[in-house]
A = this chain, B = another copy of it.
């Protein structure tokens, strides 16, 4: 399965595309950063971000999109922009009919480092190792995006099965309540 991971941001939005499956190391298909001009009006920046993400989706045709979840505990000054970028990212995936998923930073760190409180350097090191890259992906937003894609490949299957089981169980409960 091919997954596009997105580390949402308005100034730098990390994008990483990985081919893989649960339990296997995975292969990097593409990595990059969509940048928008901090001096430009907000609507222009959102449009530039949407254009950049669509170009990645068009070129690499992922089967799923995974986006890091935004928390209000984050830096208060940047949380609004990060939330807006994550909305654009999820919309871009949904607009193409792709399944989308969100993961918390600690879920992503746990998946690639085995430790939910790992720092950015550890994440970059593990992503470089897991994908057998010759060089560490730069900047950190790009490495994070690859980590999110790996997280989805390794954990997404499990999450999807749990969610399907819960839906079936809920459907069964509704059925028996009739």
Which residues of A are interface residues toward B (Cβ below 8 A)? 41-44, 46-47, 50, 70-72, 76-77, 79-81, 83-88, 90-91, 93-95, 100, 102
Contact = CB atoms under 8 A, between A and B. Distances in A.
A119 to B, nearest CB: 24
Contacts of A71: 80
Which secondary structure dominates where chain A touches chain B? helix
Nearest to A51: B95
Given A43-B93, A85-B87, A87-B88, 19 more contacts: A43-B90, A43-B94, A44-B94, A46-B87, A46-B90, A46-B91, A47-B91, A70-B80, A72-B72, A72-B76, A72-B79, A79-B83, A80-B83, A81-B83, A83-B83, A84-B86, A88-B88, A88-B91, A91-B91
